[in-house]
Amino acid sequence: MLTGKNITIGVTGGIAVYKAAQLVSNLAVSGAAVRVMMTESAREFVTPLTFQTLSGRQVYTDLFARPAGGAVQHIDLAASSDLVLLAPATANIIGKIACGIADDLISTVVMATSCPIIICPAMNVNMYNNRVVQRNLASLRGLGYHFVEPGVGRLACGAEGRGRLADLELIMDKINFILANEKDLQGLSVMVTAGPTVEPVDPVRYLTNRSSGKMGYAVADAAARRGARVVLISGPVELKPPAGVEVIPVQTAAEMHAAVLERFSSVDVVVMSAAVADYRPKTAATQKIKKHGETLTIELEKNPDILAELGRIKKHQLLVGFAAETEDLVKNAQKKVSAKNLELLVANDVTLPGAGFGTDTNIAKLVFPDGRLISLPKMDKLALAHTILNEVPVLRRGGKVNHIVPLS
Ligand code: PMT
């Protein structure tokens, strides 16, 4: 699978550098063209000759080296990579990337490339748990960087805990997963809904829910990275739109309904991850409602069920819904997948820690109309987004295979 792929590895200074040598060897054996960049600190542990011998290529160490032919080295490395992998990635390089600092070869390549980047942190447990490092990791996750989390065990410094470079097998799995997904949605038009809707009660109050939009934005981001043309119909959220995605902001369920229907005939796939309000106030007061009695009754009326309507009118479109449940997850999800005439339903029990509203991770079950059910482990929302999208080409072919569960 890696034959012909250009993988550029940034090796930074930590004791796990010796494991990176084995990783380079494994990648070279898999057929990838591996280029290694080393920081000065990494060269304190292992000499470039080790990596040169294992990769069969020159090792890059100097930001200002001028290759023959006048190319600008970091731009050339960035542009010609299918994947950049940082292993081991120290707290220092993670901090630099998170802060937008580009002052050496590896950080400039990371900044200049548009290919996927996998970061494999490795450091002392206290450094790893440091709140600044955790904040940097969270911020990079939010920006779509991929991670292979460090393992737990005895560290080279003698401490016990999380911080060891992840097993090389896990890193290889992640590389294969990401490269396998490359551009497989090219030519498809995908509509994603995300976030909550807000339903006005009066000029200062509204009904809404806890959706942050993270799940839907991850789906839109993943679909765009895989080559799809993506339109994201988004309720009000505080997220940066993913690169290359057309965003249509909406407020109410009625607006989301109109925006979705307007574009439905021109899309191939719809992923409805938005938490759409089922009911809205029957009339929104034009003036602020005054405090009078001990109770206040607001009459609600039903919003349109957008997804159910798409299920009724769909032609070639593939429909993926979500179900946010607090009980009887599978039973309720199975009812929804057939009631809404979906090809796939992603069911999440929003009461579980690390699942549902507002979290960076989710725990989901994929429910198919033919009764198949896949229980996924807890994974970050981008990894779940990719797992959902893995099903799209298969479902479009009418097939029933392919269940790669990514290691996040
Ligand atoms: O945004 P995050 O903070 O990341 O949280 C993610 C999430 C919990 C919102 C997401 O994972 C999720 O579960 N989204 C669906 C929420 C929901 O509205 O579920 P539901 O079971 O009520 O609806 C079932 C499906 O019908 C959903 O695809 C929903 O978008 C759709 N629907 C619901 C009501 C309605 N009036 N119209 C709809 O189209």
DSSP character string of 292-329: -SS-----EEEPP-HHHHHHHH-SS-EEEEEEEESS-H
| Domain count across the chain | 2
Work out the end-to-end distance of the chain between its first and last CA atoms, rounded to an integer number of angstroms: 20
- Is the same domain home to 204 and 61? no
Residue with CA at minimum distance from ligand 1 atom 14: 273
Query: Residues near 8 by Cβ (< 8 Å), separated by ≥ 6?
Result: 34, 35, 36, 37, 77, 81, 83, 84, 85, 109
Residue 150: inside a domain, yes or no? yes
Residue with CA at minimum distance from ligand 1 atom 24: 323
Residue 174: inside a domain, yes or no? yes
Report pLDDT for 1. Answer: 60
Selection from 96, 104, 137 nearest residue 119 by Cα: 137
Exposed/middle/buried for residue 72 (C-beta within 10 Å: 0-12, 13-18, 19+): middle
CA atoms within 13 A on the CB side of 39: 22
Residue 228: inside a domain, yes or no? yes
- Is the same domain home to 147 and 214? no
- Is the same domain home to 269 and 322? yes
pTM of the model: 0.65
Report pLDDT for 313. Answer: 98
Report pLDDT for 362. Answer: 94
Q: Which residue has the tokens 């369920």?
A: 253
Q: Which of 252, 303, 307 for a ligand 1 pocket mutation test, highest count of atoms within 8 Å of Cβ?
A: 307
Query: Residue 12 maps to which CATH number?
Result: 3.40.50.1950
Q: Which of 209, 276, 340 for a ligand 1 pocket mutation test, highest count of atoms within 8 Å of Cβ?
A: 276
- Is the same domain home to 110 and 195? no
Residues of the chain with pLDDT under 50: 399-408
- Is the same domain home to 248 and 170? no
Q: Which of 147, 181, 215 is the last residue of a domain?
A: 181
Length of the chain: 408
User: In ligand 1, which atom is closest to the CA atom of 194?
Assistant: 1
Residue 404: inside a domain, yes or no? no
Residues with CB under 6 A from ligand 1: 195, 211-215, 253, 272-276, 278, 303, 305-307, 321-324, 336, 348, 350, 356-358
- Is the same domain home to 238 and 354? yes
Q: Which of 149, 181, 213 is the last residue of a domain?
A: 181
Per DSSP, the three-state class of 227 is coil
Report pLDDT for 379. Answer: 85
Cβ atoms of residues 350 and 402 within 8 Å: no
- Is the same domain home to 126 and 157? yes
- Is the same domain home to 144 and 228? no
- Examine the residue annotation and report whether 120 is marked as an active-site residue of this protein: no
- Is the same domain home to 53 and 30? yes
| 242 preceded by a cis bond (ω within 30 of 0) | no
- Is the same domain home to 289 and 219? yes
Q: Any bridge partners for residue 161, and if so which?
A: 153
- Is the same domain home to 206 and 331? yes
Q: Which of 181, 209, 227 is the last residue of a domain?
A: 181
Q: How far apart are CA 373 and CA 379, in angstroms?
A: 17
Q: Any bridge partners for residue 277, and if so which?
A: none
Query: Residue 357 maps to which CATH number?
Result: 3.40.50.10300
Residue 328: inside a domain, yes or no? yes
Domain that holds residue 139: 6-181
The rounded Å distance from CA 307 to ligand 1 centre is 10
Residue 71: inside a domain, yes or no? yes
Q: Which residue has the tokens 């989901």?
A: 364
Q: Which of 192, 193, 212, 273 for a ligand 1 pocket mutation test, highest count of atoms within 8 Å of Cβ?
A: 273
The rounded Å distance from CA 193 to ligand 1 centre is 9
- Is the same domain home to 174 and 222? no
Report pLDDT for 181. Answer: 67
